Amino acid sequence: MLYSQSNIFIILPQNMSERITLFIDVILPLAVPNLFTYRVPYELNEVISPGQRVVVQFGKNKLYTALIKNIHTRVPLDYEAKYIEGILDTRPIVNEYQFKLWDWMADYYCCTPGDVMNAALPSALKLASETKIMLTENYREISVELSDKENILIDALESSHELSLKECSEILAIINVQPYIKSLIEKKIITVKEELQFKYKPKTEIYIGLDNKFLDEDMFAAMLNALEKKAPAQVDLLMVLWQQIKMNDQQEVRKKDLSKHIKNVDSILKSLEKKSIVYLMHKRVDRLHNYDKEIIPPVELNTEQKLACEKILQSFSNQKPCLLHGVTGSGKTEVYIQLIEHTLKQNKQVLYLLPEIALTSQIIGRLQKHFGNDVGVYHSRFNEQERAEIWVKTLRTENSYKIILGARSAIFLPFQNLGLIIIDEEHETTYKQQDPAPRYHARDCALVLASIYKANVLLGSATPSYESYYNALNGKYQLAEIKNRYLGTLMPQISCVDISKIKPGERIFSDELLSEINTALQKKEQIILFQNRRGYTPLWMCETCGWIYKCTQCDVSLTYHKNTGQLHCHYCGSTYKPLNKCKACGSHHVKMIGFGTEKIEEELAILIPEAKCSRLDLDSTRNKHAYYNILNDFENQEIDILVGTQMVTKGLDFSNVSLVAILNADSLLSYPDFRSYERAFQLCAQVAGRAGRKDKQGKVIVQTRNPKHWVLQKVIANDYIGMYEAEILERKNFNYPPFSKLIQVTLKHKERNKVAEAATILYNNLKSKIGKRILGPEKPVIEKIRNEYLRSFLIKSEKNSNYKLIKQEVVNELHKLQQIKDLKQLRFIIDVDCN
Ligand code: ADP
Ligand code: ZN
Ligand code: ZN
């Protein structure tokens, strides 16, 4: 039999029975609960180790790429272990620290090892379920007997280059193609194509060097003289090349840099290369960035920052996580930078986590300024190629990144020697993955990860989550505070403008706000307007009978988008043509109600035509450059007013912004959720934090129909602690987090009555197991999504209860539910520590 290792085939000797037989447990890229055991051919005993990828057969005739988790000598009792088909890596791509995190996650979040693996690995390294085969390079030279079926497959492969096993099975019109594939592999005619290996290609750039003998000044001059009359363009290029080589003391110069000064570089270089005056070479470059500007040392901290820093270091020496509570603009980032430097001095790595939307070029630039190319960025806006590149680089001990700046999924990177994890904006809900499983909270996973590496943890926020603040007050974390902005700049002045006199839908801007906008524009200062609705109008309604235009697949009202001229469902993406007639009563009085960012932008153009406006939301930033371009233009003050959704609230530091407005605060306060006030306060404080960051005090205007609302009063007073104290009392009285933990269970079924039936059964069964902890079933606010009806439960696990056991009961009952004959189509979601 043959085994492939990185596409080199090894022939196994027949009698090696004196050697020990090894088995491996692998993680399959599927939502199966268990690991599966395979047998290792003796030949590979020496080269196999956990963390390598192998090709295995699973199910009838499917090949999968799986990941080795354990190696042992125990013969599986329940089934006969198959041999692995081949091994793909010479070195592990996942390390033991990561496996520990994965185990914890699968257990804690009630998901499968395959779910975790799928979330962890970048797709370019990911384990495709549809393994493909292709012809080997020299298959033509191999003369062996072939069966008809084998010949058919070879013909098919010659025309289509590669085939999945499924396609092979269709071509041969038989289900079990495995024997033919195996036989062809053994005959060295075909090979398993491991796309993953070829997918990842390092990027190279062309560099130009001067032939050695011309590095001498006299030789160079003589050569130029000889060229002079015939080829002035070549002389020009050589002069630039000479200058750059000497100036930068480099052997070679990037072709790109030459093209900046010289036209037609390619043809000139060709002639020079022919004459052996220059040589061209491809150098491997880091695709992400080559920071070549000057590195500057961190700034000197002010007294308050220094004190915070000392307190943090003190907590680290006690192996305790620390929460840094510092108002917006207080210099938290500068404190992080000091701590990063401190960690690098100990030769350890740093993971700096930020919510996706706060991961802007601004923060990347701030870190690179001090740490240059030691900074790697792991971001979903990068393509898979780039993500794989970071992964592979992190894996290497030598020359690895010292600092990784990343969003949620960066916790999965294969760090070698992690010393510090910073979780900035720790309160952010986007740290929690909603879909698919694992529904993990990156902050909580980061704390686990830190304990695995024995690394320090710093959580930072201007508005910490109540869970974290509670932990800090109760000694689980250390608390460090910065109460003033850097240089003592005043916090922005916040005021509410009562818009209850404005009829709904009549106007977006109050007179007060318009006049403030005009004042700011006159002073050449910039403005940010926040509205948590994208699109043009969120409601399309009949004035006669109240009918609302909804998605047919989801129980959601449709949003009109002017740029597409269609109504969109923000849940399933379906689009609909606008109607001018009510579908219920036939009336022609249909009206658009409410306003999204698109409409705000349009209104501004009418009201203040001389101002330059731009919009920052999901729709305006579909391509990756749009996002950076808009922020760049705003930073360079080519835009006066930036209108946006959540995207404008995070991590942006524009010194010239003097006015920020929240156009409709009421929508923030009216979510039916026990966390809605916490969230509303956080959001307002974060938006407000964008105003007046440098020397001048900024202004914030909050438009509301309810200016006396106590949460808004707390926002105006910038009273985080008052807000926390009021809310934590409520949480305690009603036993909500941090006094309990919550699991949300959602049942889904295409039929409304089936989901209701399942919900009743689940409720009754679980009630006998976990008692009053189960709340529900409830129709969610959105009862139907993508044609599936939903029912949800909340399971409240009080402080001293056995969370693990409760989760186990829930999982067991859910599996039992699916066994009921009538409910085979039922699907469910378990969301542990739901948001
Ligand atoms: P935060 O992260 O708390 O919002 P930043 O770190 O962004 O605050 O600080 C706000 C601004 O003040 C930034 O431009 C930062 O460079 C500047 N700043 C903060 N602390 C210092 C310091 N000690 N020396 C010089 N500039 C500082
Ligand atoms: Zn109607
Ligand atoms: Zn829909």
Whether residue 41 has its Cβ less than 6 Å from ligand 1: no
- Contact between 791 and 779 (Cβ < 8 Å): yes
Instruction: Strand 36-40: give its sheet, edge to edge.
Output: 8-11, 2-5, 86-87, 53-58, 62-72, 22-27, 36-40, 82-83
Whether residue 3 has its Cβ less than 6 Å from ligand 1: no
- Contact between 831 and 744 (Cβ < 8 Å): yes
Average the pLDDT over 253-267 and give the result: 85
Average the pLDDT over 628-641 and give the result: 89
Whose C-alpha lies nearest to ligand 1, atom 20?
331
Whether residue 326 has its Cβ less than 6 Å from ligand 1: yes
- The residue count of the chain comes to 835
The helix/strand/coil state of 372 is helix
**What is the Å distance from ligand 1's center to 487 Cα?**
9
pLDDT band with cut points at 50, 70 and 90 for residue 9: very low
Nearest ligand by distance to the CA of 785 = 3
pLDDT(92) > 70: yes
Whether residue 332 has its Cβ less than 6 Å from ligand 1: yes
**Prior bond of 777 cis (ω within 30°):** yes
Instruction: Choose which residue among 484, 653, 654 to substitute to test ligand 1 binding: the one with the highest number of ligand atoms within 8 A of its C-beta.
Output: 653
Give the strand pairing for 526-530 and 641-644: parallel
- Contact between 465 and 323 (Cβ < 8 Å): no
**CA nearest neighbour of 165 among 60, 321, 8, 29:** 60
- Contact between 421 and 449 (Cβ < 8 Å): yes
- Contact between 110 and 43 (Cβ < 8 Å): no
The tens digit of pLDDT for each residue in 433-472 reads 998 999 999 999 999 999 999 999 999 999 999 999 999 9
What's the token pair of residue 245? Answer: 């080589």
**What is the Å distance from ligand 2's center to 544 Cα?**
5
**What is the Å distance from ligand 1's center to 552 Cα?**
50
**Per-chain mean pLDDT for the chain:** 87
pLDDT band with cut points at 50, 70 and 90 for residue 6: very low
653 Cα nearest atom in ligand 1: 7
Whether residue 330 has its Cβ less than 6 Å from ligand 1: yes
CA distances from 215 to 219, 221, 252, 293, 342 (A): 7, 10, 12, 26, 43
Question: What percent of the chain is predicted at pLDDT more than 70?
Answer: 93
**What is the Å distance from ligand 2's center to 542 Cα?**
5
Average the pLDDT over 65-90 and give the result: 88
The CA distance from 359 to 125, in Å, is 24
Q: pLDDT at position 288, please? A: 53
Whether residue 692 has its Cβ less than 6 Å from ligand 1: no
Give the strand pairing for 784-785 and 788-798: antiparallel
Q: pLDDT at position 8, please? A: 36
Whether residue 807 has its Cβ less than 6 Å from ligand 1: no
Q: pLDDT at position 126, please? A: 66
Q: pLDDT at position 17, please? A: 45
The tens digit of pLDDT for each residue in 706-734 reads 999 999 999 999 999 999 999 999 999 99
Average the pLDDT over 61-69 and give the result: 82
The CA distance from 111 to 107, in Å, is 7
175: number of CA atoms within 13 Å, CB side? 2
The helix/strand/coil state of 337 is helix
**What is the Å distance from ligand 3's center to 574 Cα?**
6
**Prior bond of 438 cis (ω within 30°):** yes
Whose C-alpha lies nearest to ligand 1, atom 23?
301
**CA nearest neighbour of 61 among 171, 175, 164:** 175
366 Cα nearest atom in ligand 1: 16
Whether residue 754 has its Cβ less than 6 Å from ligand 1: no
CA distances from 185 to 59, 240, 323, 437 (A): 20, 55, 57, 36
The helix/strand/coil state of 819 is helix
pLDDT band with cut points at 50, 70 and 90 for residue 193: low
**What is the Å distance from ligand 3's center to 539 Cα?**
14
Average the pLDDT over 323-341 and give the result: 96
Instruction: Choose which residue among 334, 335, 461 to substitute to test ligand 1 binding: the one with the highest number of ligand atoms within 8 A of its C-beta.
Output: 334
Of 314-318, 397-401, 784-788, the least confident: 397-401
659: number of CA atoms within 13 Å, CB side? 25
The tens digit of pLDDT for each residue in 195-239 reads 444 344 556 788 899 998 888 888 898 888 888 777 888 998 998
pLDDT(175) > 70: no
Whether residue 460 has its Cβ less than 6 Å from ligand 1: no
Of 123-137, 270-284, 377-391, 659-673, the least confident: 123-137
pLDDT band with cut points at 50, 70 and 90 for residue 395: confident
Q: pLDDT at position 400, please? A: 86
482 Cα nearest atom in ligand 1: 3
424 Cα nearest atom in ligand 1: 2
What value, to the nearest 5°, has the Cα angle with vertex 406 and ends 342 and 355? 110
Higher pLDDT, 649 or 465: 465
Amino acid at 390: I
What value, to the nearest 5°, has the Cα angle with vertex 217 and ends 216 and 220? 85
Burial class for 184, CB neighbours closer than 10 Å (0-12, 13-18, 19+): buried
Whose C-alpha lies nearest to ligand 1, atom 17?
331
The DSSP code sequence of 170-211 is: HHHT-S--HHHHHHHHHTTSEEEE-HHHHH---EEEEEEEE-
The CA distance from 128 to 123, in Å, is 9
Q: pLDDT at position 168, please? A: 83
The helix/strand/coil state of 614 is strand
Give first-to-last CA distance, the chain, whole Å.
52
What's the sign of the alpha-carbon dihedral 152, 156, 158, 161?
negative
Q: pLDDT at position 702, please? A: 96
**What is the Å distance from ligand 2's center to 31 Cα?**
46
300 Cα nearest atom in ligand 1: 23
**What is the Å distance from ligand 1's center to 719 Cα?**
22
The CA distance from 679 to 628, in Å, is 27
Whether residue 530 has its Cβ less than 6 Å from ligand 1: no
**Prior bond of 738 cis (ω within 30°):** yes
Of 376-380, 494-498, 508-512, 665-669, the least confident: 376-380
**CA nearest neighbour of 729 among 678, 683, 685, 681:** 678
In whole angstroms, how large is the CA radius of gyration of the chain?
Answer: 31
Whether residue 301 has its Cβ less than 6 Å from ligand 1: yes
**CA nearest neighbour of 61 among 169, 147, 191:** 169
Whether residue 331 has its Cβ less than 6 Å from ligand 1: yes
The CA distance from 323 to 311, in Å, is 10
The helix/strand/coil state of 310 is helix
Whether residue 328 has its Cβ less than 6 Å from ligand 1: yes
Average the pLDDT over 172-189 and give the result: 76
Q: pLDDT at position 197, please? A: 42
The DSSP code sequence of 628-689 is: HHHHHHHHTT--SEEEESGGGSSS---TTEEEEEES-SHHHHT-SSTTHHHHHHHHHHHHHT
- Contact between 369 and 342 (Cβ < 8 Å): no
Q: pLDDT at position 178, please? A: 67
Whether residue 299 has its Cβ less than 6 Å from ligand 1: yes
Whose C-alpha lies nearest to ligand 1, atom 19?
331
The tens digit of pLDDT for each residue in 557-600 reads 899 998 889 999 888 888 999 988 898 999 999 888 888 999 99
The helix/strand/coil state of 309 is helix
**What is the Å distance from ligand 3's center to 562 Cα?**
18
Whether residue 37 has its Cβ less than 6 Å from ligand 1: no
pTM of the model: 0.81
Higher pLDDT, 61 or 261: 261
Whether residue 333 has its Cβ less than 6 Å from ligand 1: yes
The tens digit of pLDDT for each residue in 767-817 reads 998 988 998 888 887 888 889 999 999 999 988 889 999 999 999 999 999
Q: pLDDT at position 284, please? A: 67
326 Cα nearest atom in ligand 1: 3
Whose C-alpha lies nearest to ligand 1, atom 25?
299
3-state helix, strand, coil in the chain (%, to 5): 40, 25, 40
**What is the Å distance from ligand 2's center to 551 Cα?**
16
Torsion of CA 138, 141, 146, 150, to 10 degrees: 20
What's the token pair of residue 507? Answer: 């106007």
**What is the Å distance from ligand 2's center to 586 Cα?**
6
Those residues whose C-beta lies under 8 Å from the C-beta of residue 783, and which sit 6 or more positions away, are: 555, 789, 790
334 Cα nearest atom in ligand 1: 6
The helix/strand/coil state of 494 is strand
| Ramachandran quadrant class, 771 (left: phi over 0; alpha: psi -120 to 50; beta: rest) | left
328 Cα nearest atom in ligand 1: 4
**CA nearest neighbour of 403 among 395, 542, 394:** 394
**CA nearest neighbour of 811 among 777, 766, 764, 768:** 766
Nearest ligand by distance to the CA of 576 = 3
**Helix H or strand E encompassing 235:** helix 232-248
Task: Tell me 492's DSSP state.
Answer: P
Return the residue matching tokens 């996650």: 105
Question: What percent of the chain is predicted at pLDDT more than 90?
Answer: 51
What's the token pair of residue 710? Answer: 């106590």
| Ramachandran quadrant class, 264 (left: phi over 0; alpha: psi -120 to 50; beta: rest) | left
Average the pLDDT over 13-30 and give the result: 77
- Contact between 493 and 338 (Cβ < 8 Å): no
